[in-house]
Amino acid sequence: MDLKIKKKIEKLTDALLTTRKNAKPEILEELDSENANRFKMMITNHIIPFIKDASMLIGRSGCSLNYYSNELAVIRDPKKRIFIQILFYPYGHSKITLGVNAPFLQFAFSPAKDNIKITTKLSIKSDEPRFKIDEIEIDEFSQKKIDGYILDFLKNEMES
């Protein structure tokens, strides 16, 4: 890196650190709502174990599942959504080569709307858009419904 650019970046960083140090302390983290906690618990206690078990089962066919979630991250913005994305890797496609183009099923809880949006992308093609499957209230979100959405997703992917 050019020495002049490096010095400028260091100066910017020092200024930012000084500003933070001199700022009066404020509480950045909002307490999660009861529904946000309920959604996080559903991810941790049901969806993730379900995905791990299902991935072992479909592994016999050369396919696999993975997930990406922010349920354990500290959400500093109370309006930021909490989500879990279930990624499907078909036979012949590795996680490395498929990358972000993997078909997926996503459950996203919006604290601002207090509901869950379920979206999917069924094609490996990168230009294929995602589409909304459903939008439900948190009270309608149950293990039985989750299992149904995941099973439908797997059926669509494994039969295509």
Token output for 144: 């039985």
DSSP 91: T
pTM for this structure? 0.74
Domain definitions of the chain by residue range: 28-158
Nearest-angstrom CA–CA distance, 40 and 54? 20
Nearest of 106, 89, 108, 109 to residue 97 by alpha carbon: 89
pLDDT of the residue at 39:
92
State the angle between helix axes of 48-58 and 143-158 in degrees (0 to 180), rounded to the nearest 10: 30
pLDDT of the residue at 105:
94
> Do the beta carbons of residue 70 and residue 83 sit within 8 Å?
yes
Could you list the mean pLDDT of each consecutive 10-residue stretch along the chain, which spans 160 residues?
A: 84 83 60 83 93 92 89 65 90 61 90 91 71 88 92 88
pLDDT of the residue at 28:
45
pLDDT of the residue at 31:
60
pLDDT of the residue at 80:
80
CB atoms near residue 72 (< 10 Å): 9
pLDDT of the residue at 96:
57
